[in-house]
Chains A and B, each alone.
Chain A
């Protein structure tokens, strides 16, 4: 499994953009970069994933470095509801021998101030 490094915690103000970094220097060429988040007292939820190109969806954007050794999850306008633990997880998206096993690191605790 590729090792990931994320800051333990970050803070933001409401309505401001948040950039959550992740280093995954040992990522395999076939691994997608997935981001999940866990809101307080809830199960994790999928946020976004990408392979090489930057990706956007209704929740967030994902910027992937050209060498794929790092990525950044971007929340364009943080809300109080975005306060959560954010995890970046390299994963072979099509299943393969990993069979979809999500290997969670310690994640980044995001605090959003009103």
Chain B
């Protein structure tokens, strides 16, 4: 059983298009995250949801809109894709709260290429 899964694994699209990446976790965690890893391999957090509520929103363009329909899912929709959006996007999940140590489990990543 895959703990954190993402679809699609690869996404190639043209500039200006709108696309979505889906993430699901079957660990029963209450918190999910989106991270972006650029071409220089820097990993940076974008968003986090705790119990379907947005708790972290880094400086990310408005073209990126996360949606959490339930605790097990966190999707990322990107409007008007730009060349600079090309990156690998990782979803992660963890259980926050006192008494936990917030081990984060990452998905396999979605490689987005914008042409």
Interface residues of A (CB under 8 A from B): 32, 36, 38, 41-46, 49, 85, 87, 91, 93-95, 99-104, 106
Q: Which residues of A contact B104 (CB under 8 A)?
A: 36, 44, 46, 100, 102
* Nearest B residue to A47, CB-CB: B103
Given A44-B43, A49-B101, A93-B102, 13 other A-B residues pairs in contact with their CB atoms under 8 A: A41-B109, A43-B4, A43-B106, A44-B104, A46-B105, A94-B99, A94-B101, A95-B98, A99-B50, A100-B48, A100-B102, A103-B45, A104-B42
Which of chain B's residues has its CB closest to A100's CB? B102
- Work out how many contacts link A and B, with CB atoms closer than 8 A: 71
The stretch from B59-67, B69-77, B89-97 touching chain A is: B89-97
A94/B97 in contact, CB under 8 A: yes
Interface residues of B, count at CB 8 A: 30
The complex places the Cα of A87 from the Cα of B96 at a distance, in Å, of 21
CB pair B101 A93 closer than 8 Å: yes
Q: Are A43 and B109 in contact (CB under 8 A)?
A: yes
| Partner among B35, B42, B56, B106 whose Cβ is within 8 Å of the Cβ of A99 | B56
